[in-house]
Amino acid sequence: MPALIAGMIITIALAIVSLFVGVSDVSLASLLSGGWEGRPGEVLLISRIPRTVALVLAGASMAISGLVMQMIVRNRFVEPGTTGTSESAALGFLVVTIFAPGWPLMAKMAVAALFALGGTALFLRVLRAVPLRDVLLVPLVGIMLGGIVGAIGAFIAYRTSLMGSMLAWNMGDFSGVLRGRYELMWFGLAGCILAYIAADRFTVAGMGKDFTTNLGLNHRSVMILGLVIVSVVSAVVLVSVGSIPFLGLIVPNVVSMLIGDNMRRTVPWVAVGGAGMVLACDIVGRLIRYPYEIPISVVMGVVGSMLFLYLLLRTPRGAK
């Protein structure tokens, strides 16, 4: 518990740093002299606080959806980016952009979430047909499926000259976040809370279908709940800021290495860790080429791929 509190303090400190990093001069002194009416106060309210909140929500909810995904698939190396979920959400967003460009963002997001749901369900269906449940085979199947869905999306985008927009959606970037433009992400918080409430069920479901049924739990409904959480979170983040790679993979794995697999215990850790990691990467992206920005998905890609390699290559404990 003290360790969790320490983690929370670090994340809160990062959030505070995030509030004071940017092009406009926002500092405690300028805030005190200008008040809420002055420019520093306005920038803080309109731009900095929304961005920081969006970062926390995106980080926590993406990390948790990775955790949920790993529980229901029973594999450590999956996350929405390696199961075709993100690609399906992007495909849905693309389709609705083509056929109903005038729809409100909320409706577009709902379509993206439905596609994400369909894509993830397809992934689970394909997995059932894979006889060998090798640890690395599962994410490979997912990456291939994601590749196929992504290719369909790329084809449609190419034919409709939407390639540039498609690339922009696939690139997570918080530079456009302002008051009034991120609020959909609160759905991510709903997903986190739902995951926490149902944590014990996911832990049990993670032990397999027969085991779950023996304990009197409906395996199918737990799976569906998990799918819904993962799909909604992926769609919300994609529509609001674009996709963020590796997050759902790295954070739950690191947490699991540190404190084990009991989901009721890991959910707060994963949420805090995800938020902290996204905050740190975004702050780095804002500082490297100041006053311009480097999209968070680039920073996360570099940091995440290194951590991912480490996770893959590290010697299992006790194997020496």
Partner 1 sequence: MTTLFRTSSLAAALIAGTMALTPAAFAQDKVITHAQGETTISGVPAKVLVQDWATLDNLAALGVPVAGVPSSNAPGYLADAIPADVLPLGSLFEPDFEGIAASEADVYFVSGRSAAAYETGKDILPTIDLSVNNTAIIDGLKENLTKLGEIFDKQDKAAELIANVDAKVADAKAAAEGKGTALVLVTNAGKLGVYGPDSRVSWVYNEVGMPSALDSVKDGDHGGDAVTFEFLLEVNPDWVFVVDRDAGTTENTGAAQALLDNELFNQTTAAKEGQIVYLDAQAAYITMNGYQAVTLLLDQVIAGLQK
**Could you list the residues that contact partner 1 (CB under 8 A)?**
22-24, 39, 42-43, 46-47, 101, 160-165, 168-169, 173, 175-176, 178-181, 289, 291-295
Q: Which residue's CB is nearer to partner 1, number 33 or number 160?
A: 160
Q: How far is the CB of 131 from partner 1 (least distance, A)?
A: 40
Q: How far is the CB of 291 from partner 1 (least distance, A)?
A: 6
Residue 191 near residue 232 (C-beta atoms within 8 A): yes
Q: How many CB atoms lie within 10 A of CB 141?
A: 20
Q: How many CB atoms lie within 10 A of CB 19?
A: 16
Q: How many CB atoms lie within 10 A of CB 284?
A: 16
Q: Which residue's CB is nearer to partner 1, number 47 or number 85?
A: 47
Q: How far is the CB of 85 from partner 1 (least distance, A)?
A: 20
Q: How far is the CB of 314 from partner 1 (least distance, A)?
A: 35
3-state secondary structure of 48: helix
Q: Which residue's CB is nearer to partner 1, number 2 or number 102?
A: 102
Q: Which residue's CB is nearer to partner 1, number 36 or number 310?
A: 36
| Helix, strand, coil shares, percent, the chain, to 5 | 75, 0, 25
Q: How far is the CB of 178 from partner 1 (least distance, A)?
A: 5
Distance CA 278, CA 259 (A): 21
Q: Which residue's CB is nearer to partner 1, number 164 or number 318?
A: 164
- The count of C-alpha atoms lying within 13 angstroms of the C-alpha of 254, restricted to the half-sphere facing its C-beta, is 20
Q: Which residues of 177-187 are buried (b: 16+ CB within 10 A; e: fewer)?
A: beeeebebbeb
Q: Which of 279, 300, 307, 304 is nearest to 11 (CA)?
A: 279
Rg (CA), the chain: 20
Q: Which residue's CB is nearer to partner 1, number 47 or number 65?
A: 47
Q: How far is the CB of 160 from partner 1 (least distance, A)?
A: 7
Q: How far is the CB of 292 from partner 1 (least distance, A)?
A: 4
Q: Which residue's CB is nearer to partner 1, number 165 or number 203?
A: 165
Q: How far is the CB of 294 from partner 1 (least distance, A)?
A: 7
Residue 233 near residue 81 (C-beta atoms within 8 A): no
Q: What's the Cα-to-Cα distance from 187 to each of 120, 146, 229, 233, 246, rounded to whole Å?
A: 19, 24, 10, 7, 21
Q: Which residue's CB is nearer to partner 1, number 9 or number 168?
A: 168
Beta-carbon contacts of 261 under 8 Å, excluding residues fewer than 6 positions away, are 203, 206
Q: Which tokens hold the place of 290?
A: 């100041």
Going by the DSSP 8-state scheme, the letter that residue 184 receives in this structure is G
